[in-house]
Structure 1
Amino acid sequence: MPTTTITKSLFVALAGGLLAGPVSAQEENKLYLFNWTEYMDPAVIQAFEDQYDVEVVESYYNSLPEMTAKLNAGGVSQYDIIVPSNYYVPRLIQSGLVQPLDKSKLSNLDNVMTEFADPAYDPGAQYSVPYQWGTSGIVYDTDTFPDAPKSWSLLFDSDVNPDQPFALMGDGQVTMGAACAYLGNGYDCDDPEAWQAAARLLLDTKHRATFSGFTDGTPVLQQIQRGVVRAGVSYNGDYLQQKQENPEAFEHIAFMIPDEGTEMWVDTMMIPAEAPHPTLAHQFIDFVLDAEIGAQLSNYIYYASPNRAAQPMLDTVLTEPPVLPTDSDRARLAFTPSLDGQNLQHFQQLWSEVQSR
């Protein structure tokens, strides 16, 4: 789920090329990976290519709606692996866009932590395998807010933040969940009345003079560094990754999990229903589930690993906050609810109104 929206020059070329036509015979030695940007260690790709004598062709998306749209536009038969977040998993299953896993081909499946082995979003883990997990939270300038409350009020209360520019995340469910949590209805609220109250709060917030817009995880970190905004919403791994790369710029930027609660997300690996190379896709999933590879991946992208066997090999920074929440913070985390049917339609209508009004 990390919205790491750093643009890569290969994106347009690769994405366009993959949707240009059916996979030909000479492409049988290629694996097509459709992933979030900046969410894979190139050395892991190289190791897989060397082991299986194949080429991995990577293309990227910046949002889950973008990923789904491309699957519906023909990508379901063009990609071998996708990496959706937990609350999109049921939608992909119900719409027939993904295929069940053949667990006989996943020898490393027992490496998955117990808490991710039978998730509510995919009972029995029939279709998905966890890739990475993390949290969303508030990032803010500590010079501007030296006494910042550990609360969503930093964004939603004009008395707490009367005059400093701030942003909210462009993911509707994350932002509505934050508003629900602030209002005391829980981050994982799915009651229409709670949503309506959250939508009213977001409209009021949006019309404040200091609201800069809906900005996703990585861009808001860049905006804080430049002083464009002083607070926003991002993901713990994105925050840590940029802090490690540019410690001086992040000397006065902090990440917090609000006491009212926030999101715990899991990104998963799934195989599209008409994937051209399902056997190779299973081999790739099993490769990532290897203990050493799992540790290498997390050590590179700074997110928490759901791989139990990888834990002893993780860098120390991945075993402490903000990557691994404290026990008290973890008790405040909830999965973003999976929506379908009338609930999904009602939510989408409310979110559209928030964005357009």
Structure 2
Amino acid sequence: MKLLSCLAVGALALGLGAPQIARAETPTLNLFIWSDYIDPALITKFEKQCNCKVVETDYESNAEMEAKLRAGGDAQYDVVVPSSYYVPELEDEGLIQPLDHGKLTNFSNLAARFQNPTYDPGDKYSIPYQWGTTGILYDPAKIKGNPDGWGLLFDPKENPNYPFVIPKGEGRDQIGAACAYLGYGFNCAEKSQWIAAAKLIEQTKKRPNFAGFVDETPTRDQEKSGLVAAGMAYNGDVGQCVADGSCTKLKFYLPKEGSEIWVDTMAIPAKAPHPELGLEFINFILDANNGADLSNFNQYASPNAASQKQLTGIMASDLINPSDAEMKNLVFLAPLRGAKYKLFNQIWTSVLQ
């Protein structure tokens, strides 16, 4: 893959070095990303640096992202941000392309623990973007006591009256949480365990105070507005509203039975219209200053070792940085491939019906 530098891209946009074209159209980076996940100022900075335009399209779950790619988005978007356990599946389906590491001059800024991961050996298809944890956000004015497990979602005795939600998403966190509650561990991998977890969620759906399937960021917003009292949430989403003071009355915890530590990554779709600009963007995010600005905006932990000294505010808090004891109960979700992936999807689809 040939990569044009930002200067070269800008020159083409102005028609420089290409006499046969009086003026080329301004190059456009089509970014497909989770909502509220990048500072608009960073987008503006990239546009100025590369003399290009960025068109951002948002999604709320990996399942939504994958469906768009399968429906032709792999030829529409230049950069997508899948969670780590989704990378092997996107690779197997031919929806993302290998990366030219010779063009990623800032790759060495990544902390060693985030390089050469098991889900993508050699970082062949993806580059870490941010990382975080999945837990429970609740309103202590409505939920009494000190909940500390997944029972707040699955045990009617812990919340018999107030509305609560479970994410719709792609099912990995939801089945994982139910498995953990049942004693199988968050990273359960057997058909019988998945079925038991699915049955628990189906029972939970029948409770009168179950308010439906709502993904994590919308859950946070519904809790802020008082519509629901509990639900699954990402620590960075909570960090955002803690930082702006809009959810100081809510509480977040990592369930004692175990939960997820995850990495969101940057990848280039297989038929991206501007893959060279996609590589420029990935390298831009890997810059130390830009990596720090990213985390200081979205309140998620940075995998960028060169950015750490520039992180501010709650980035040093326990919310963003789990304790050693909490880390022992956190797992990376193992990728599912082939027949096992299809089986899991069948089970989860039956839950949503």
TM-score (normalizing by structure 2)? 0.89
| Native 8 Å contact 2:148 2:255 kept in 1 | yes
CA distance in 2, matches of 1:296, 1:66: 27
- List runs of 5+ in structure 2 lacking aligned partners: 1-22
RMSD across aligned C-alpha pairs, in angstroms? Answer: 1.6
Matching of residues 129-140 of structure 1 within 5 Å:
129-140=127-138
Aligned residues: 330
Following TM superposition, where does structure 1 have runs of at least 4 consecutive aligned residues deviating by more than 3 angstroms?
A: 25-28
**Number of the residue aligned with 2:223:** 224
Task: Quote the Cα distance in structure 2 between the aligned partners of 1:78 and 1:229.
Answer: 36
2:304 equivalent in structure 1: 307
2:20 equivalent in structure 1 = none
Query: Does 1:280 pair with 2:277?
Result: yes
Q: Following the alignment from structure 2 to structure 1, what is the Cα–Cα distance between the partners of residues 295 and 187? A: 26
Give, as a single letter, the amino acid of the residue that structure 1 aligns with 2:128.
P
**Alignment-mate amino acid for residue 207 of structure 1:** K
Q: Give the equivalent residue in structure 1 for 2:337.
A: 340
2:140–2:251 CA contact under 8 A, matched in 1: yes
The letter of the residue matching 2:226 is G
Rounded Cα–Cα distance in structure 2 between residues aligned with 1:59 and 1:218? 16
Task: Please give the secondary structure, in 2, of the residue aligned with 1:281.
Answer: helix
Any idea what SS the aligned residue of 2:264 has?
Answer: strand
What is the Cα deviation at residue 27 of structure 1? 4.2
User: Is the 8 Å Cα contact of residues 74 and 269 (structure 2) preserved in structure 1?
Assistant: yes
* Cα deviation 1:108-154 (Å, max 9, x = unaligned): 10111111101111111111000011111100111223422211111
2:62–2:82: 8 Å Cα contact kept in structure 1?
Answer: yes
Distance in 1 (alpha carbons) for counterparts of 2:241 and 2:327: 23
Conserved 8 A contact 1:203-1:354: yes
Which residue matches 1:180? Answer: 179
Distance 2:66 2:25 in 1: 24
Q: CA separation in 2, counterparts of 1:44 and 1:310?
A: 15
Residue 228 of structure 2 aligns to a residue whose secondary structure is: coil
2:167 paired with 1:169: yes
**Structure 1 residue matching 2:46: 3-state secondary structure:** helix
List per-residue Cα deviations over 1:150-174 (Å, max 9, x = no partner). 1111111122222222111112111
Deviation at 1:276, TM superposition (A): 2.0
Query: Structure 2 CA distance, aligned partners of 1:310 and 1:143?
Result: 38
Name the structure 2 match of 1:85: 83
- Matching residue's letter, 1:234: A
The aligned runs of 1:71-82 (5 Å cut-off) are 71-82=69-80
2:235 aligns to what?
236
Report the Cα offset of residue 28 of structure 1: 5.8
Once the two structures are superposed, the pairs formed by residues 319-330 of structure 1 within 5 Å of their partners are: 319-330=316-327
Whether the aligned pair in 1 keeps the contact of 2:60 and 2:217 (CA below 8 Å) is: no
The AA in structure 2 aligned to 1:271 is I
- Which residue of 1 is the match for residue 67 of structure 2? 69
Contact 1:148 1:154 in 2 (8 A): no
1:189-208 superposed matches below 5 A: 189-208=188-207
Q: Secondary structure at the match of 1:294?
A: helix
Residue matched to 1:59: 57
1:241-252 equivalences under 5 Å are 241-245=240-244, 247=245, 249-252=246-249
Please, which of 145, 148, 166 is the counterpart of residue 146 of structure 2? 148
Of residues 92, 99, 106 in structure 2, which corresponds to 1:108? 106
SS at match of 1:202: helix
Classify the secondary structure of the residue corresponding to 1:135.
strand
Q: Deviation digits for residues 16-61 of structure 1, max 9, x if unmatched?
A: xxxxxxxxx9446222211112211111111112112111222222
CA 1:353–1:71 in 2, change beyond 3 Å: closer, same or farther?
Answer: closer
CA distance in structure 2 between the partners assigned to 1:154 and 1:320 by the alignment: 24
Q: For the structure 1 residues 27 and 38, does the alpha-carbon distance in structure 2 shift closer, same or farther, using more than 3 Å as the test?
A: farther
